Structure 1
Amino acid sequence: MSACEFESVEKCLESHLPEAELTEVQRILFGKETKKLDLPASAVEAASERDFELKGYRFDAVQEQLRPPRRIRVGLIQHRIVLPTDAPILDQITAMHNRIGELVEVAAMCGVNIICFQETWTMPFAFCTREKDPWTEFAESAEEGNTTRFCQELAKKYNMVVVSPILEREELHSTLWNTAVVISNSGNVLGKSRKNHIPRIGDFNESTYYMEGDTGHTVFQTQFGKIAVNICYGRHHPLNWFMYSMNGAEIIFNPSATVGALSEPMWSIEARNAAIANHCFTCAINRVGTEHFKSEFTSGDGKKVALYEWNESIILR
């Protein structure tokens, strides 16, 4: 959160604008009216008990004359780390698995068909520290790692496509990648999409850990539609979105881990612009909470690395 601490832009507008003006501002900012979903009372209660926010919205597309509409429910999870960043690696991963299991269970109550987690969701976003130890220990096999097996069980249990962005270790060359694993609702690994573009900006020089991906602009055919994953920094590149769309993506996910000072005014707008430009649906998410690192470094400006703060939620679209 920023120094003035507010929950969200939407809440701020709702609190300070008269209803008529609020409606007009929302029309200008968001286009067509965004309709809220009626969520099951059991899901709302479970979210409250487990201490996270649950919201649902409906977006309509133009109905065709000859084909019936497809109704797809997408879940976007934004969560915080559970344990301190210096806790044992396996304990941190296990705690994240347990937490995400709780959130996915509630998403299933809401009828979600496809769910996406944030960038490198099983670990702190430590890629500003330039320390390989211990952060590279979070890396796993995209096909056979514990996190992928965990997500396969979730997919089968809830009949849900799962998009799981992780730090991948390719065992053949012991190479690291920033990767999204896509798992079908039957539990099969459909494939993976590696981060196409990475930042080299001040503290965010991610080439210390991994390089640009080599999977191109892969689109995955699922039971619920054709999807693609444009990981984090790729959102700054309009042609990145364009290529996923040209390859047939109907929904493009943008799992991120970005901070307020760096790109808070941009990441959600970039996704909306991409949807308009490429005639598809886009789903942008970020991580939440506060992350502290004992070993910080400076990039020559005399300032410490920033701690990170976000808000925890599930967003259904």
Structure 2
Amino acid sequence: MNEKVTIGLVQLKCGNDIEANVEYTLEKIKEAAAKGAQIICLQELFNAQYCGQSVDVNLYDTAEPIGSPTLVAMSELAKSLEVVLIVPFYEKAGRGVYFNSAAVYDADGTYLGTTRKNHIPHAPQYEEKYYFTPGNTGYPVYETRYGKIGVGICWDEWFPEVARILALQGAEILFYPSAIGSDYDNPQLSLRPAWEKAISAHGISNGVFIAASNRVGREKDMTFFGGSFVSNPLGDIMQSLDDQEGILIQKVDLKEIDFARNLLQFLRDRRTDTYDLLLQQEAFQINKRY
């Protein structure tokens, strides 16, 4: 079995015209496939400017269901290009019920399922709790033509539990579509180094490849820093993009997972019998010092 897989990450700016954003992205997917990409991941909420900067009831109207024209076009493109597509979008699941989601299409266009974002942030310029219901799909792993993959969406990527669950279910590459940029309370601070370290560290502790895609450009009062990257199972950054639009193409060898896990036997040495506190929301209060 050929265990070499080529990852493609599409890092773009988003304008105000959703239809134009979709058409532009479709062209960039074709470009990534022409460069050899087999699994292509778009950025979080790929077709619109990031909604979380403010509270606006009208933005509910930008959500779309599975089976919308946008997603049908993605399925057809995946089939024609023979690529796996990860398509993060604003999902309308029912009347007044919305999720931050990512649909996954196999290389024959088959719809494999949807991951819904589980961890929903609430902070200045990240007002996501207004727009998204917490995910109810759990942490599915998708067996695609080119390998087993898992998806965590933006805030999910910071939580080590997500990566561990996906790895335990057999995911070999973890994809993290993101929309992260400037911080309202700390405008002088760039979170990019912490973002890159935190996510690539999941690759070390689980012996998997990491592929994180982010958007770029100025949208209202936020600047998105890009920095999309792929890291190997020892946490080395294999390739990254800067703060401009771009397409990252990176070939990975899944056999490196065996080497990393044989070297660092974290999965073997887990002590699940000692982890009860992880399931207690107020576990930190066990220390009464404060």
TM-score by length of 1: 0.68
1:169 aligns to 2:74 (yes or no): no
Q: Secondary structure at the match of 2:5?
A: coil
2:215 to 255, 279, 287: 287
User: What stretches of structure 2 of length at least 5 have no aligned partner?
Assistant: 184-189, 226-242, 251-290
The answer to whether the Cα contact below 8 Å between 1:271 and 1:283 also exists between their aligned partners in 2 is: no
Q: Whole-Å Cα distance in 2 between the matches of residues 270 and 69 of structure 1?
A: 30
TM-aligned CA distance change 1:267 to 1:139, over 3 Å? same
Counterpart in the other structure of 1:15: none
CA distance in structure 2 between the aligned counterparts of 1:236 and 1:316, rounded to whole angstroms: 24
Correspondent of 1:263 among 179, 182, 191: 191
- Percent of aligned pairs with the same residue? 31
* Deviation by residue 1:38-64 (Cα, 9 ceiling, x = unmatched): xxxxxxxxxxxxxxxxxxxxxxxxxxx
Mapping of residues 124-203 of structure 1, within 5 Å: 124-133=49-58, 135-142=59-66, 144-171=67-94, 173-203=95-125
Q: CA deviation at 1:307?
A: 5.0
Judged with a 3 Å threshold, the aligned counterparts in structure 2 of structure 1 residues 112 and 139 are, in CA distance, closer, same or farther, namely same
Conserved 8 A contact 1:140-1:146: no
Paired position in structure 1 for 2:129:
207
Which residue of the partner structure matches residue 13 of structure 2?
80
RMSD over aligned Cα atoms: 1.5
Partner residue, 1:63: none
Deviations 1:27-48 (A, max 9, x none): xxxxxxxxxxxxxxxxxxxxxx
C-alpha displacement of 1:110: 1.4
- Residue 211 of structure 1 deviates from its aligned partner by 2.3
Name which of 132, 140, 148 aligns with 1:218. Answer: 140
In the TM superposition, 1:15-164 aligns within 5 A as: 69-81=2-14, 83=15, 85=16, 92-133=17-58, 135-142=59-66, 144-164=67-87
Whether the aligned pair in 1 keeps the contact of 2:78 and 2:109 (CA below 8 Å) is yes
Aligned residues of 1:156 and 1:186 also touching (Cα < 8 A): yes
- Unmatched 5+ residue regions in structure 1? 1-67, 86-91, 293-304
Q: CA deviation at 1:311?
A: 2.0
- Structure 2 CA distance for partners of 1:308 and 1:74, relative to 1, 3 Å: closer
